[in-house]
Structure 1
Amino acid sequence: MQNLWCEPAGHSGFACACALPRRGLIRGALAAGAAALIPASLRAQAPTLPRRRRIDVHHHLTPPAYKDAVLRRMDFFPLQRDWTPQRTIADMDAAGIDVAILSVTTPGLAFAEGDERRRLARACNEYAAELMQRFPGRFGSFAALPLPDVEGSLAEAAYALDVLKADGVLLFTSYDGKWLGDPLFQPLYEELNRRRAIAATHPTSAPCCTNLQMPLFPDPLIEYGTDTTRTIGSLLFSGTAKRFPEIRFIFSHAGGTAPFLIERFEFQARIPASGAQLAGGVRPALGRFLYDTAQAANPVAMGGLLQVVPASQVVLGTDFPYRTCTEQVQGLAGLGLEDATLRRIESGNAEALLPRLKA
């Protein structure tokens, strides 16, 4: 079986030459969030967090049908494989998280084909809706879509948003070497734009970059932030973001490497063909997107992001189960932000995005 890190959504094959042995999973855990493995007895010694409303927009679940389908094909990262609603709620409670918006993460649904991919998307979304019913007020959902199957995704988005009352949809940063600014996705964007829907994104690895001979550098370490930046650039310089301004995109991990490449983006915008695709320039265009704090609750990442976009565009994300909610909340608390700004990031901006969540 292949290692999860080598088979992200968008990598169509199962003969990835970068497959790591099981010990690679351990190294990947260390690189991508070993703090989630800290014993509860040690985590309990962490300082008490002040009680305030918190909404986590980047929080993963593992639906049973999805887990079964993955395990038939590849190794599953243990933290994801062993996920349960009870573990999620316990971790939320430890950090004072009131609501978590759930989404399926890597490997996504790309390992399945045709009708199976559609069925898995439906199973994931119905399971998330079931959790919303079982635990009132604790969960929301960003619906899984069977992309790059656009026709199936249009049908699933309608069902998830209208029938299951999902809060938005989840898109991966790329599919089969196509980033989110590709014309392939235009029919879906037309519908999402009409609905003013939320489109949360999650990074994956492009097919070009999963075959690197770097066993100590699993894909999430570098490629995830890079692919987030590729897809942001794709949306901007293709004109897609300008054509569909009502879609409320959320980018993971403080926008990947985009804040650190701002000068390059702005230089690209000087080229008339590129600049014409932007609504008001690079920074105003980036300032229309939202960004979560998952694995970025540190002075370097958040400092860079807040130099590029206003705090009104930043929302709390934890990336559970790959990181604990407490880690991420404590990281934000340690940034020295004004209390009003911190409250906006922890809940106010999410409440503005999703009014149903207002306390």
Structure 2
Amino acid sequence: MHDSSKNGGTTRRAFMAATAALGVAAATPAAADASSTRRHQKPAKGLRIDAHHHFVPPGYVERGGPLPVFRTWSVQRSLEDMDRAEVDASVLSVTTPVLQVLAEDGNMMSRQLIRRCNDFGAQLVADHPGRFGLFAAIPLTDVEGSLREIEYAFDTLKADGIGLFTSYGNQWLGNAAFDPVFAELNRRKAVVYTHPVAPPWGSAIPQVNIALIEYGTDTTRAIASMIFAGASQRYPDVKMIFSHGGGTIPFLVRRFIREAAGNPALATLLPGGFMPELNRFYFDVAQIPSRPALAALREIAPASRMLFGTDFPYLTAAEHVTGIEQSGLFDTWERRAIDANIASLLPRLAESVAR
């Protein structure tokens, strides 16, 4: 279990942080033989950080917030779920639909609610040192409001990164309207976590939850928008994280590769093709702890670009730890890497965990 004490875990935590800074998990030799290869060494327990963990700020549910599972959210439930699966820390983010709707309005109510969400998230980080990080929200369609909130989030709250949705109305992340915001994020070399939303036209199959099909699809739209609109090249220092294994990207990647090579305009824009741009991104494994989905993701992304994520409170951390292990797709070293990769993106959080 996670050692929540700040004294007994100091040595282990310092060791984990030093190795996590390299983006890999800690390891100790299984034998004294100096000629032992990495495969003959026994990995030690390394960092496990959840990159996709939701929280519910006060007043969020009352505004018509998410599914009923959010009505029972509490910070204690978050910590208990983390401890059951030996998750050292989780990066907090708000989810749909309240901020999505207000952000699309681009009004002062959006700015005010987002500020309250970010303040509450930052307070959770302060109240539980080493257990939480924060992806701060911004009202992306409100450029002035977004720039102000980015400054506040990083300079005052010391947030770990920024949380965006994959689309806002009929605009996806590569849209030129968002260029001033991405330029500032690029200047700050920011980590940007994204969460999918439902498109404005709703579900094509009203009998099922709109998230089942549309969330994965909207993630794909956002990735395609970033690459084919040239945003991934314009803002190379923004470290983009896409949820749920990249949505449907693994199943459409061949089409995108052919389009990038065969369309003259895109061939000029993407002289290296589609894959070098896709390889700039990171993908969390939230909601895909099964062999078929993980196998598809592994075909387009190495373990070094995968991040442990849970989508708590919708699923548990234990489900993901078990699912990744039972998939049989990753050796112990790769599993440790998936658990710890985000530490190299968020050094402040890694250092906080190590204290």
Per the shorter chain, which TM-score range?
Answer: 0.7 to 0.9
Gaps of 5+ in 1: 1-49
SS in 2 for 1:199: strand
CA 289–108 in structure 1, closer or farther in 2 if over 3 Å, else same: farther
Deviation digits for residues 203-239 of structure 1 (CA, Å, limit 9, x no counterpart): 001112x153x33321110000000000100000000
Structure 2 residue identity aligned to 1:268: E
| Consecutive aligned runs of 4 or more in structure 1 exceeding 4 Å deviation | none
Deviation digits for residues 254-299 of structure 1 (CA, Å, limit 9, x no counterpart): 1000011011101110212113333622122111100000011211
- Do residues 297 (structure 1) and 289 (structure 2) align? yes
What CA distance in whole angstroms lies between the structure 1 residues aligned with 2:108 and 2:271? 38
Deviation digits for residues 297-325 of structure 1 (CA, Å, limit 9, x no counterpart): 21111111111122111100100001011
User: What TM-score do the two structures reach when normalised by structure 1?
Assistant: 0.81
Aligned partner (choices 218, 242, 253) of residue 209 of structure 2? 218
Corresponding residue of 1:238:
229
Corresponding residue of 1:317:
309
Corresponding residue of 1:57:
51
Corresponding residue of 1:162:
155
- 1:75 CA displacement: 6.1
Within a 5 Å distance, the mapping from 1:107-126 to structure 2 comes to 107-112=97-102, 113=105, 114-126=107-119
Deviation digits for residues 91-122 of structure 1 (CA, Å, limit 9, x no counterpart): 11111111000000011413334111101110
Determine if contact 1:199/1:248 at 8 Å carries over to the other structure.
yes
Determine if contact 1:283/1:309 at 8 Å carries over to the other structure.
no
> What is the percent sequence identity of the aligned residues?
48
What CA distance in whole angstroms lies between the structure 2 residues aligned with 1:194 and 1:353? 16
Aligned partner (choices 58, 77, 81) of residue 67 of structure 2? 77
- Do residues 93 (structure 1) and 83 (structure 2) align? yes
- Do residues 147 (structure 1) and 140 (structure 2) align? yes
- 1:131 CA displacement: 0.4
SS in 2 for 1:65: coil
Corresponding residue of 1:248:
239
Deviation digits for residues 49-82 of structure 1 (CA, Å, limit 9, x no counterpart): x9642100000000003233x2xxx364111122
Corresponding residue of 2:24:
none
Gaps of 5+ in 2: 1-43
Corresponding residue of 1:22:
none
What CA distance in whole angstroms lies between the structure 2 residues aligned with 1:279 and 1:124? 41
Larger radius of gyration: 2
What CA distance in whole angstroms lies between the structure 1 residues aligned with 2:324 and 2:217? 23
* Highest RCO, 1 vs 2 (Cα 8 Å, sep ≥ 6): 2
CA RMSD for the aligned pairs?
A: 1.5
User: What TM-score do the two structures reach when normalised by structure 2?
Assistant: 0.82
Determine if contact 1:295/1:319 at 8 Å carries over to the other structure.
yes
Structure 1 residue identity aligned to 2:236: P
What CA distance in whole angstroms lies between the structure 2 residues aligned with 1:194 and 1:259? 30
SS in 1 for 2:153: helix
What CA distance in whole angstroms lies between the structure 2 residues aligned with 1:351 and 1:89? 19
